């Protein structure tokens, strides 16, 4: 009983959390230095352009036993993929699962192209997700499928649950203390507007799952395996939480 009361005491303040008022919701691009913002805004200076260019090449390259390329079915990505990344993760009616962009691309590869799935964080998968994500630049995040509700709810719980040796939750930083300092860095609101991102610390492009893994390791929690439902639920919740913000893929972050 006492344990329950204590648990309730710990959980109770978090029940309110998760809600940054709509008027205060913003991409963390605005808190970056002017130099980084310039780097993100200029495709000539944004190193993620290399990933997008290679993604364009892969889009047109035939793969697998079907001998088909992405373009053979989807045509010109600039038209067919416009705004698509802004509504992912999405519910897949055929399998009844929620898929993020990485999982969708791999599903397309295995089911339609007859090609082996690409490993998470492999160069090829990042190329393709960057290229597809780029086509949604400027589109408002708009995940409105009601079938996503269970994943969003799971994601919300994971976001608010304390975990790891530091006993932190995502919400403690990103809902309750955004805008304040953690060491030299400003705590971001953590909206996934720009993924995959070029992160200076990584010297590379990385996915949202890699970023989530990074945060979990920072909290000294056990990270989930890449591609797990827990990550996809968190991604679904974060996109729901960032609804209306424009996509910035590929963003640059410090």
**Nearer residue to other proteins within complex by CB, 124 or 176:** 124
Query: Hey, which residues does 63 pair with through a beta bridge?
Result: 68
* Contact with other proteins (CB under 8 A) among 36, 53, 115, 168: 53
Q: How many helices (H) and strands (E) does the chain have?
A: 11, 7
54 belongs to the binding site for other proteins (CB under 8 A): yes
What binding mask, one character per residue, do residues 229-248 give for other proteins by CB under 8 A, x or -? --------------------
By CB under 8 A, the residues from 110 to 169 that bind other proteins are none
- Using alpha carbons, select from 166, 159, 150, 162 the residue that is nearest to residue 11: 162
SS3 194: coil
Task: Identify which range of 48-56, 189-197, 212-220, 244-252 contacts other proteins by CB under 8 A.
Answer: 48-56
200 belongs to the binding site for other proteins (CB under 8 A): yes
**Nearer residue to other proteins within complex by CB, 174 or 253:** 253
Cis peptide before 172 (omega within 30 of 0): no
Burial of 19 (C-beta count, 10 Å sphere; 0-12/13-18/19+): exposed
Task: Identify which range of 38-46, 59-67, 80-88, 90-98 contacts other proteins by CB under 8 A.
Answer: 38-46
Task: Identify which range of 71-79, 149-157, 185-193, 198-206 contacts other proteins by CB under 8 A.
Answer: 198-206
173 an active-site residue?
no
- Dist CA 218 CA 212 (whole Å): 10
49 belongs to the binding site for other proteins (CB under 8 A): yes
Q: How many residues bind other proteins (CB under 8 A)?
A: 12
Task: Identify which range of 2-10, 105-113, 187-195, 199-207 contacts other proteins by CB under 8 A.
Answer: 199-207
* CA distances for 23 relative to 94, 211, 244, angstroms: 37, 26, 11
Contact between 64 and 113 (Cβ < 8 Å):
yes
SS3 102: helix
Max CA pair span of the chain: 64
The nearest distance, CB 202 to other proteins, in angstroms, is 9
Torsion of CA 80, 86, 91, 92, to 10 degrees: 20
Give the interface with other proteins as residue ranges (CB under 8 A): 39, 43-45, 47, 49-50, 53-54, 200, 203-204
Active site residues: 215
């Amino acid at each position: 009983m006492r344990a329950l009361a204590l648990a309730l005491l710990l959980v109770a303040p978090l029940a309110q959390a998760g809600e940054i008022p709509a008027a205060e919701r913003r991409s963390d691009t605005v808190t970056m230095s002017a130099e980084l913002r310039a780097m993100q805004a200029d495709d000539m200076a944004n190193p993620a352009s290399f990933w997008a260019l290679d993604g364009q090449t892969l889009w047109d390259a035939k793969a697998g036993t079907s001998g088909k390329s992405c373009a053979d079915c989807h045509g010109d990505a600039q038209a067919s993929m416009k705004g698509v990344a802004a509504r992912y993760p999405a519910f897949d009616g055929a399998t009844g699962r929620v898929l993020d962009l990485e999982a969708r691309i791999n599903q397309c590869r295995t089911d339609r192209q007859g090609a082996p799935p690409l490993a998470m964080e492999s160069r090829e998968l990042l190329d393709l997700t960057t290229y597809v994500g780029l086509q949604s630049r400027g589109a408002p995040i708009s995940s409105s499928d009601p079938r996503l509700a269970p994943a969003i709810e799971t994601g919300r719980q994971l976001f608010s649950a304390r975990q790891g040796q530091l006993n932190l939750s995502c919400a403690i930083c990103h809902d309750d203390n955004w805008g304040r300092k953690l060491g030299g860095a400003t705590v971001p609101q953590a909206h996934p507007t720009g993924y995959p991102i070029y992160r200076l610390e990584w010297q590379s492009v990385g996915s949202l799952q890699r970023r989530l893994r990074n945060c979990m390791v920072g909290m000294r929690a056990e990270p989930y395996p890449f591609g797990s439902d827990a990550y996809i639920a968190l991604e679904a919740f974060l996109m729901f939480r960032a609804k209306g913000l424009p996509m910035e893929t590929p963003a640059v972050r410090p």
